[in-house]
Amino acid sequence: MTGRAILGIESSCDDTAVAVVDRDGGIHAAETVSQSDIHAEWGGVYPEFASRAHVRAIVPAIDRAMRAAAVSPGDLEAIAVTRGPGLIGSLLVGLNAASGLGTAWDLPVIGVNHLRGHLRSADLEERRVGFPATVLLVSGGHTIVAHMADAVSIRVLGSTRDDSVGEAYDKVARMMGLGYPGGPAIDRLAREGSATIDLPRPMIREGLDFSFSGLKSAVARWLERDPGLDKADMAASFVACCMDVLLAKCRRALAAAPSRALVVVGGVAASPQLRDGAGALTDEMGVALCLPPLEWSTDNAAMIALAGWDYVALGAAPEPAAAPRLPIDRF
Ligand code: KG4
Ligand code: ZN
């Protein structure tokens, strides 16, 4: 590797991830240890088990990533670690590992906002995003539409008033017995069904905020009333509903604020239905569509390292102190 790298560490939820990333977003190594098997039994993340699994995984993952990238501490510019939002016990594991290494290796430790990591994920591997841009961030914890004048300036235009869309996917998957995480399972099943069930499209006609808890309850009512209901048709109807709402908000946001691009990031950006729908919308509206490569849509450490480079460029190094409820517009 020529030039220096940032070591990124992510442990905000149920993935222990480590990556080595250069200033241009080139990924020299990326390790992710998933805890899906541990949490599948509960149908969601069980915080106490998540922190314990991070403790077991983190040091070996750092070691593997450093070896795979063939870097030594002297090749590193800094260590970037997620400081929030996320589960406090999980965040502390990554933060403690980063602080220990920072002291031992005499490197600065940058506390990164996980949501800023997602925002920057579309620039991993190659620079794609032209600013100003409208951004849709759809993850397990958040559903936000925002406008970015450049890589660091963000203005939130709308967000969910209750559940996130990823949470709705996970809860609907659980109700239908599809396991955890729910997103990929619902996507697969939806492809085998038709969107014939009439579900509400909450807040589709008004503003830029979202609401998904009513949709989730509507699915629950249908399943209770008719246990013989075709699950593939329900999955297809639920996905169609989410797509209609998400894309209506993107359309409205693009019309409201001048943008060269629509950037769609976060775990739900792995959905082929959302990728296709956003493609059709951006073609129609004459703006570029910027998506992270599929494997960098869900939680990873490469995006945390890339956001770390933004902080280096700004000369800002937020304290590596846990902030479980950190909002998107704060460093
Ligand atoms: O960004 P992420 O990995 O973690 C958070 O920061 O929350 O997002 C996780 C969410 C979960 O709700 C998961 O069900 C959803 O992303 N997800 C998907 C897909 N893959 C993951 N949703 C729809 N389609 C997918 N293929
Ligand atoms: Zn995330």
Nearest-atom number in ligand 1 for the CA of 299 is 3
One CATH from 3.40.718.10, 3.30.420.40, 2.40.50.140, 3.40.50.300 for 130-290: 3.30.420.40
Nearest-atom number in ligand 1 for the CA of 182 is 14
* Contact (CB, 8 A) for 140 and 267: yes
How do the domains of the chain map onto residue ranges? Answer: 5-120+296-314, 130-290
Tell me the pLDDT of the chain (331 aa) as tens digits.
667 999 999 999 999 999 999 999 999 999 999 998 888 777 778 899 999 999 999 999 999 999 999 999 999 999 999 999 999 999 999 999 999 999 999 999 999 999 999 999 999 999 999 999 999 999 999 999 999 999 999 999 999 999 999 999 999 999 999 988 899 999 999 999 999 999 999 999 999 999 999 999 999 999 999 989 999 999 999 999 999 999 999 999 999 999 999 999 999 999 999 999 999 999 999 999 999 999 999 999 999 999 999 999 999 888 999 999 999 999 8
Domain 5-120+296-314, CATH class in plain words: alpha beta
Neighbour-count burial for 75-114, b at 16+ CB within 10 Å, e otherwise: bbbbbbbbbbbbbebbbbbbbbbbbebbeeeebbbbbbbb
Query: H/E element holding 112?
Result: strand 109-113
Residues near 242 by Cβ (< 8 Å), separated by ≥ 6?
165, 168, 169, 212, 215
Query: Cα(13) to centroid of ligand 2, in Å?
Result: 8
pTM: 0.96
Which tokens hold the place of 118? Answer: 């997602």
Mutate to test the pocket of ligand 1, among 13, 113, 139 (most ligand atoms within 8 A of CB): 139
Read out DSSP for 145-169?
Answer: EEEESSSS-EEEEEEBSS--HHHHH
Query: Cα(317) to centroid of ligand 1, in Å?
Result: 28
Same topology between domain 5-120+296-314 and domain 130-290:
yes
Nearest-atom number in ligand 1 for the CA of 181 is 14
